[in-house]
Amino acid sequence: MKTNMLIMAAMLIGLAGFAQKSEIKAAEKAMKSGDAATAKASLESAAGAIAGADERTQAQYYFLRGQVYADLAKKGDMAAFGESVDSYKKVVSLEEASGKVKYSGDAKAQMSSVANDLVNAAVEDNKEKKFKDAAEKLYMAYELSPRDTVYLYYAASSAVNSGDYEMSLDYYEELRDVGYDGSQMEYRATNVETGEVETMQKTQRDLMVKSGTYSNPVDEKTESKRAEIVRNIALIHTQLGNNDEALEAYKTARADNPDDVNLVLNEANLYYQLGDKDKFKELMAEAARMAPDNPDLHYNIGVINMEQGDLEAARESYRKAIEVNPGYVNAQLNLSTTYVNEGNGLIDDMNALGTSRDDIAKYDALKAQKDELFKEGAVVLEDALKVNPGNEAILSQLKNIYGALGDNENYMRIKGLLGE
């Protein structure tokens, strides 16, 4: 009886194996005729017992499954990409474990093809603003071809565009950990006919120069992406409210890129958000020393000094901004406002005085001081009009100053310039 049961069990195993192979052959036949849906159905019939099959049969099954899902993905089933990738990986792991290699070479070649399909699909997703889908596809492409770290870089960028900051943070941190640089050589030459500098492949560039149609060949390495990556990690931590992690990321980034003024600015902005205005001002001053020809830096330093009531420091910064950019309207307006604000600050003192002879004398002195400050503010704006004639913001503020001074002649002149 026991023997009969063993024979029956062996027969059942044999029949199951025969059924698996039959379904796999049916799937192969369907694929050859281009019918991926039928091939998929045949493989699903064999799926339940495939784990008990020998390694070769399993490798064959997963290789065919990878082909089926790759074909379905090409036909529009975007979810099939992942199934295809997993199947090809299974082929490689099975054959590496068994030491019997038959399908691995083709599986790896197919994975490269799927990676290209994923990248092309991601490009279309980005065009259609399906950024998260694009990020996931690009990451799968990177997993298939880890040497192509640029796929991971673009996956991180797409994840940012999708607003999925957790995903983008994971990708950027992986880029940092694998040491992604992103720089590359660019080969340029000047078109003799047009005089324009063009970028092309090195072989083509060299041939063009040799032919005489191009001149001045230049080989130039593009900027490394490392600073950008660490900066983005810090920015994403900031976005997620992970302020300690963000500050640590800036510390690391600045140690690696001490001349990157953008890192200093971003760190300064984080301190500003945290309410540490003194640290913000310190870092902005450092950035201004690093980039003295950047008027926005000087302007922003002026704004924070103005907020903190340090009007002399604010004026110095606004003047530097105007020196670099003589047409910087906001700096001109704010510089004028520092004088107006200081003058307005005297009004409370004036109103607190009594009617005694001494108080009247003090009142007159304070009023004269206030008027002089207002006139300083007016001079700033009159100079600004020489560079920005007709600017409404400048004219409106100037009109208000002359109105406060009781200077009717200039008040009416500015009203006329405003078309009032």
- DSSP characters over 349-380: HHHT--SSHHHHHHHHHHHHHHHHHHHHHHHH
Same domain, 21 and 42: yes
Same domain, 173 and 26: yes
Q: What is the pLDDT along the chain (420 residues), one digit of tens a residue?
A: 444 443 343 334 343 444 556 777 776 777 777 777 787 787 776 676 676 677 788 878 888 888 888 888 888 777 788 888 888 888 888 888 888 788 888 888 888 888 888 899 899 999 999 999 999 999 988 988 888 999 999 999 999 999 999 999 999 999 999 989 888 889 999 999 999 999 989 999 999 999 999 999 999 888 888 878 888 898 899 889 898 998 888 888 888 888 888 888 888 888 888 888 888 888 888 988 888 999 988 998 888 888 888 899 899 999 999 999 999 999 999 999 999 999 988 888 888 888 888 888 988 898 999 999 999 999 999 999 999 998 999 999 999 999 999 999 999 999 999 888
Same domain, 262 and 144: no
The answer, as to whether pTM is greater than 0.75, is no
The per-residue pLDDT for 130 is 94
247 in any annotated domain: yes
- Separation in Å, CA 45 to CA 28, 39, 89: 14, 10, 21
Selection from 305, 295, 297 nearest residue 337 by Cα: 305
Same domain, 141 and 101: yes
Q: Do 374 and 334 meet the contact criterion of CB atoms below 8 Å apart?
A: no
130 in any annotated domain: yes
CATH of the domain at 88: 1.25.40
CATH of the domain at 362: 1.25.40.10
Same domain, 165 and 23: yes
What are the residues facing 200 on neighbouring strands?
Answer: 187
- Separation in Å, CA 328 to CA 43, 293, 323, 336, 375: 70, 13, 9, 13, 20
What total of structural domains would you count in the chain?
4
75 in any annotated domain: yes
1 in any annotated domain: no
The boundaries of the domain holding residue 196 are: 185-221
Same domain, 128 and 217: no
